Amino acid sequence: MNTQTTQSPQFYLTAPAQCPYLEAERERKVFTHLVGPRAGEMNDLLTQGGFRRSQNIAYRPACEHCRACVSVRIVAGEFLLGRSLRRIQARNADLVGVERPAYATAEQFDLFRTYLDSRHQRGGMADMSLDDYKVMVEETHVETRLIEYRVATGLLEEEGELVAVALSDFMVDGLSMVYSFFNPAYVKRSLGSFMIIDHVARARTMGLPYVYLGYWVKGSRKMDYKKRFQPQEHLTGQGWERADPGDFEA
């Protein structure tokens, strides 16, 4: 693998592959490596430019005929909880979220496997082993944290049941949610949405303006949940612009 550390990153283009979100489309990605002393700075710049991080790779869609993927970020300082999100927050009032270093544990992996086996049996991560999970979490040259969400017991933070985990990058202008997973048995808790609500609160506390959610994919029902978190900005050809509710129409 090329681990270049030059001032100007080198970009590469993947071969076409089946799109995981839209069955009729073929996806391509442009990517570069995030290594060396400027990896954090480069990750900030690339994320602001619509890239996502996976381990030591920053990538973004570069499809030939499709522009359905849209980079989304929540405006944390103006975020308002609607009625349904307030209910989600209330249902999870017994959870405690604790930031930890990007270090993988067997307990996290057990929850990760439960999540994959329930929600993503045919996905590209379906066969991931503990070693693969460790690489996903620990192979980073940027400021990355794990946030563990446990049921509060009144005892030590580590003793409550682990129900959700978020792997997030801490950037100069916000938090970027790289990957999150949760116990699918607690469907009524809406843990995926709760973690986003919690990240907005954390960004506000830290004085950071944004929470980066990755891509909203027009026409993909599995991405519809991102509509709920307003106000938000979308990356367009003219830069980041405030999204209008009509932008979500198929």
> Would you state the pLDDT for residue 3?
47
243 in Cβ contact with 235 (< 8 Å): no
Q: What is the CA radius of gyration of the chain?
A: 18
Alpha carbon distance 75, 232 (integer Å): 5
| 240, β-bridge pairs | 235
- Say which CATH number the domain at 82 has: 3.40.630.30
pLDDT (average), residues 108-136? 83
Cα angle 181, 241, 67 (rounded to 5 degrees) comes to 65
Q: What share of the chain is helix, strand, coil (3-state, %, to 5)?
A: 30, 30, 40
Is the pTM higher than 0.85? The answer reads: yes
1: in domain: no
Same domain, 138 and 62: no
Q: What is the pLDDT of residues 168-209, one digit of tens each?
A: 999 999 999 999 999 999 999 999 999 999 999 999 999 999
3: in domain: no
Same domain, 216 and 95: yes
187: in domain: yes
Cα atoms in the Cβ-side hemisphere of radius 13 Å centred on 13: 7
Which residues span the domain enclosing 185?
72-248
> Would you state the pLDDT for residue 201?
97
Same domain, 38 and 139: no
pLDDT (average), residues 103-116? 94
> Would you state the pLDDT for residue 111?
96
Q: What is the pLDDT of residues 156-176, one digit of tens each?
A: 656 789 999 999 999 999 999
Same domain, 173 and 217: yes
Q: Which SS3 state, helix, strand or coil, does residue 168 take?
A: strand
Asked which of 20, 52, 69 is the last residue of a domain, the reply is 69
Same domain, 130 and 201: yes
Q: In what order do the strands lie in the sheet with 69-75?
A: 95-101, 144-151, 162-170, 174-182, 210-217, 69-75, 232-236, 239-242
Alpha carbon distance 100, 147 (integer Å): 6
Q: What is the pLDDT of residues 2-53, one digit of tens each?
A: 444 446 789 999 999 988 888 888 999 999 999 888 999 999 999 999 999 9
DSSP tally for the chain: helices H, then strands E:
5, 14
Q: Is the dihedral of CA 106, 107, 108, 113 positive or negative?
A: positive
2: in domain: no
Same domain, 35 and 83: no
| Number of domains composing the chain | 2
Same domain, 106 and 154: yes
Same domain, 57 and 113: no
Q: Is the dihedral of CA 71, 77, 79, 81 positive or negative?
A: positive
